[in-house]
Amino acid sequence: MARLNEAEIRVQLRHLAGWSLSGANIERQFTFKSFLPAMDFVNRVARAAEQANHHPDISINYNRVTMALSTHSEGGITQKDFDLAQEINKLEPETSR
C-alpha cells in the first residue's frame, strides 16, 4: 500500500473525527471515566487490529488511551492507517465522548 503525502493525509483527516497528524503518525487520545473502561476499549481495539493485521502504538495512562498509527513497512501513513482509525472510532463507547 502506497504511502500518502502530507496533502493527502490532511484531506483524509478532515473526515476522521478526533484524529490529527503527529510527526509520522496519525494520533488520537481517548478519555474514559476510569481505568477499567479504558482497558476494555484497548482490548476491543486489539481484536480489531489483529483482524486487520495492522497494529497501533498504544499508550495507556490510567483513564487516557492514545492511539498512534503509521504503516511501518511503508515508512509512513497509508490508507491502511485511516481504515483502522475509522474502525477504532466505531469502537469508542458513547460514554467516553
Residue with cell 492511539: 67
pTM summary value: 0.93
| 44: phi then psi, degrees, rounded to nearest 5 | -65, -40
Instruction: Give the pLDDT confidence score for residue 96 in this predicted structure.
Output: 65
In a domain, 1, yes or no: no
CATH value at residue 82: 3.30.1360.20
Q: Domain residues for 16? A: 6-96
Domain total for the chain? Answer: 1
Confidence band of 1 (pLDDT split at 50, 70, 90): confident
DSSP conformational letter for 1: -
In a domain, 42, yes or no: yes
Distance of alpha carbon 17 from its chain centroid, rounded? 11
Q: What's the N-to-C CA distance of the chain in angstroms?
A: 32
> Tell me: the pLDDT tens digits for 29-81?
999 999 999 999 999 999 999 999 999 999 999 999 999 999 999 999 999 99
